[in-house]
Structure 1
């Protein structure tokens, strides 16, 4: 993954605005008020495995508010259903279009779990007290910090795999100059597939990627790779909805 998305939620609060007892004239609803900060960073060639270097960030946060309707309030009684519904609502907000909010990208799921748990608490309390259903109207206030991290080493290796002529034949006795293993002895796909740098020296994909996190030159001829990369975003932050 050349550009990784990391999502942090430093502030999140869920309140029950009101409960509408039967007969209900409208569906249940969840109103989101979301504040978004974006930061753009890069893992540099030869930068080691330290923290990414920040390129720039939003000068001001962007805010959006949107209401979603839920026609089946029993969704709030099932934790997993509520969490999936909340995630789907966030994914459809115009503010977050172009941001990959897959669950794997959240540094912590506490916020999503907290929203779902709060909904479950309010609705289950009513259910335990014998109320005959009804509709619920929730208000969620959250701040999201989205950090887009561009990996220069991975970008160089991908560009070489896609644009540089690959010269190592399957079954070749030629060896990777980093691990000294013959290319013919490796599976030849994925992390162990051979890739040529522009200087024509071949390496295992995994080996040269790890090398470029520590240095910026070919390990054989010292050809400089820094001219092959540039950040995938402009010098100033994107407008809302623009994809990275």
Structure 2
């Protein structure tokens, strides 16, 4: 990915606000209050793998939303509860535009802790023969999101999409970085060939790693910095065609 999303939850609390014993009407509810802060960074061409911060939110933003759950048995099955909670977070207005895929969470503390707390209450009632009631949960969480734009990956993607690719995957030509033939790479992905605008081909992975260390083509020294585009957010430290 050109932009990597990393989600950290330093604090999350879940509690049962009230319970409506059976028979009862209306759905169960989950009210989530989320406080969000974001940091925007870039990994530069030739800058190693260190992320340089562009800027961060001046103040955390807070939003609260209530979600309806019509089937209380959701709180009895961990996977169902976990999917429900993840869907609630993904639909919050505060998190629109944020990739909250489970792979992006540095810790699954919230994704696991919230449904676990809900299930503890519901299963205890179920064990006592009190199943069928409706639950009203509250969740308060702090979320820190780090967005990191990768210039090397952006350049390689641009080359793959806009530069004429002159090397077939079954070509006997060699990548000038690893010296392995392109015919030894199978399918698309990290080992597929990609041409730079200067027409020199490399394995996608090889040239991406190279561009983390430097900005010229390793064969002809053509400068790739002119291909750098701005990250997809207002930036204070990055110009559209920067000369980093």
TM score, norm. by length of structure 2: 0.90
CA–CA distance in structure 2, aligned partners of residues 225 and 138 of structure 1: 53
User: Would the alpha carbon gap of residues 148 and 132 (structure 1) be closer, same or farther in structure 2, given more than 3 Å must change?
Assistant: closer
Which position in structure 1 is the counterpart of 2:241? none
Counterpart contact for 1:188–1:194, Cα < 8 Å: no
RMSD of the TM alignment (CA)?
Answer: 1.6
- Measured after TM superposition, the shift of residue 182 of structure 1 is 2.5
Deviation, structure 1 residue 132: 4.6
Report whether the alignment pairs 1:214 with 2:235: no
Contact residue 74 and residue 80 of structure 2 kept, 8 A? yes
Contact preservation (8 Å) 1:2, 1:151: yes
Structure 2: segments with no counterpart, 5+ residues: 237-244
| 1:79-98 residue CA offsets vs partner (Å, 9 max, x unmatched) | 11111111111111111111
Partner of 2:161: 162
Q: How does 1:146-225 map to 2 (within 5 A)?
A: 146-169=145-168, 171-187=170-186, 189-225=188-224
Pair 164,132 (structure 1): closer, same or farther in 2 beyond 3 Å: closer
Q: CA deviation at 1:9?
A: 0.7
From the superposition, tell whether residues 80 and 132 of structure 1 become closer, same or farther in structure 2 (CA, over 3 Å).
closer
Query: Unaligned stretches of 5+ in structure 1?
Result: 237-244
Deviation of the 1:24 alpha carbon: 1.1
Deviation of the 1:70 alpha carbon: 0.9
Aligned mates of 2:209, 2:215 — CA distance in 1: 11
- In the TM superposition, residue 139 of structure 1 has moved relative to its aligned partner by 0.3
Taking the aligned partners of 2:168 and 2:27, their CA distance within structure 1 comes to 63
Matched-pair contact (CA < 8 Å) for 1:19–1:136: yes
Q: 1:115 to 1:169 in 2, by over 3 A?
A: closer
TM norm structure 1: 0.90
Superposed displacement of residue 128, structure 1: 2.3
Q: How big is each residue's C-alpha offset from its partner over 1:116-155, in whole Å with a ceiling of 9 and x where there is no partner?
A: 1100111122222332531110000011111111111111
